[in-house]
Amino acid sequence: MDIQTSSDPVARARELGAEIAAAADEIERTRRIPGELLERLHASRLFRMLLPRSADGDETEPALYVAAIEELARHDASIAWNTFALNSASLIAAYLEPAVNHAIFADPRSAVAWGPPNASRATAVEGGYRLTGRWDFGSGTRQARWIGAHCHVVEADGALRLNRFGQPAVRTLLFPADEATLLDTWQTIGLRGTASDSYSVNDLFVSEAFSSTREDPTLRRERGPLYAFTMQGLYATGCAAVAFGIARAMLSEFIALASRKAPRNLGRLADNTVVQADVARAEARLGSARAYLIDTLSTIYAHADEVAPIEVADRARVRLACTNAIQGAAEVADFAYKGAGVDAIFPGSPFERRFRDMHTLSQQIQARSAHFEQVGQILLGVPPEVFL
Whether residue 83 has pLDDT greater than 50: yes
The answer to whether residue 187 sits within a structural domain is yes
Rg (CA), the chain: 21
DSSP 8-state class, residue 285: H
How much helix, strand and coil, in percent to the nearest 5, is found in the chain? 55, 15, 30
The answer to whether residue 156 sits within a structural domain is yes
The answer to whether residue 136 sits within a structural domain is yes
- For residue range 352-374, list pLDDT tens digits in order: 999 999 999 999 999 999 999 99
- The per-residue pLDDT for 27 is 97
Measured in degrees and rounded to the nearest 5, phi and psi for residue 213 equal -145, 150
Strands (E), 155-239: 171-176, 181-183, 197-207, 211-212
- The per-residue pLDDT for 1 is 45
Task: Look up the domain containing 121 and give its range.
Answer: 112-216
The answer to whether residue 13 sits within a structural domain is no
- For residue range 284-313, list pLDDT tens digits in order: 999 999 999 999 999 999 999 999 999 999
The mean predicted confidence, pLDDT, of the chain is 96
Structurally, the chain folds into a number of domains equal to 1
Dist CA 98 CA 55 (whole Å): 7
The answer to whether residue 263 sits within a structural domain is no
Dist CA 211 CA 173 (whole Å): 4
Query: Bridge partners of 234?
Result: none
The answer to whether residue 313 sits within a structural domain is no
CA 1 to chain centre: 27
**pLDDT band, residue 263 (cuts 50/70/90):** confident
The answer to whether residue 117 sits within a structural domain is yes
Q: Give, in order, the Cα–Cα distances in Å from 363 to each of 68, 71, 327.
A: 23, 22, 11
Question: Strands 171-176 and 181-183, how do they pair?
Answer: unpaired
- Taking residues 69-82, what's their average pLDDT? 98
Q: Give, in order, the Cα–Cα distances in Å from 231 to each of 96, 256, 315, 365.
A: 14, 38, 10, 15
- For residue range 90-125, list pLDDT tens digits in order: 999 999 999 999 999 999 999 999 999 999 999 999
Nearest alpha-carbon partner for 50 in 64, 36, 29:
64
The answer to whether residue 205 sits within a structural domain is yes
Residues of the chain above pLDDT 70, percent: 98
- Global pTM reads 0.96
Any idea what the CATH number is for the domain that residue 173 is in? 2.40.110.10
Query: Bridge partners of 161?
Result: none
